[in-house]
Structure formats: structure tokens, C-alpha cells
């Protein structure tokens, strides 16, 4: 089940306070589909654990902020790796 959608990125629920953030442009069987694990923090905000090499976990005020950050990281990854989503970010 998909709980929210913004273009190619979707939140797939893992429970009441956790989601997988996935890229629907990537085949469901491809590990590159997973962008981040996202968890609602007890004190507020959302922690994102990014699947790209070299990107540290980050805290966001809302899931929409997580989406904006994911879009920015994906654009950066596409530029740095020539579109290869499995590559490390510069």
C-alpha cells in the first residue's frame, strides 16, 4: 500500500511511524528503487536514512521536507554519476 505520492517518489508504510521512500521509475525488483527509510521521531520530525553512499542520516520537519531533500539528492546523483543511481554522490 502506498500512503503518499509526489511524482516518482512514494512512501510505502512499514508501520505506524515508518516508511520506505521509493522511486517508482526503478523496477520493483531493483534495490536502487529504495531511496530512504523514514521514521517519525517521538519528539517530532522525521529521520531519513539515505541509501546513497556518503549521505548521512538527516532530520526533517515534515515528510514533504524529506521529499524535497530526496529530489535534490536525486538530481545531484544524476549529475555526479551520469544518471547511474547506484553511484556515490560527489
Closest CA to 45 of 29, 28, 65: 65
Rounded Cα–Cα distance for residues 5 and 10 (Å): 5
Assess if residue 89 is contained within a domain: no
Assess if residue 62 is contained within a domain: yes
pLDDT at residue 2, as a whole number: 47
Assess if residue 34 is contained within a domain: yes
Decide if 19 contacts 5 (C-beta within 8 A).
no
Rounded Cα–Cα distance for residues 36 and 50 (Å): 4
Assess if residue 56 is contained within a domain: yes
pLDDT at residue 5, as a whole number: 46
pTM attached to this predicted model: 0.78
Assess if residue 88 is contained within a domain: no
- Domain of 32 in residue numbering reads as 4-81
Counted domains in the chain = 1
In the predicted model, residues of the chain with pLDDT beneath 70 are 1-7, 77-90
Q: Where are the beta strands (DSSP E) in the chain?
A: 4-6, 9-13, 18-23, 34-40, 46-50, 58-60
Assess if residue 90 is contained within a domain: no
pLDDT at residue 81, as a whole number: 52
Amino acid at each position: 500500500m502506498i500512503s503518499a505520492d509526489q511524482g516518482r517518489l512514494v512512501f510505502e508504510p512499514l508501520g505506524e511511524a515508518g516508511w520506505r521512500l521509493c522511486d517508482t521509475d526503478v523496477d520493483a525488483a531493483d534495490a536502487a528503487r529504495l531511496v530512504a527509510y523514514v521514521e517519525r521521531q517521538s519528539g517530532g520530525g522525521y529521520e531519513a536514512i539515505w541509501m546513497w553512499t556518503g549521505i548521512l542520516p538527516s532530520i526533517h520537519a515534515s515528510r514533504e521536507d524529506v521529499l524535497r531533500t530526496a529530489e535534490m539528492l536525486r538530481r545531484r546523483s544524476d549529475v555526479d554519476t551520469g544518471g547511474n543511481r547506484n553511484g556515490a554522490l560527489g
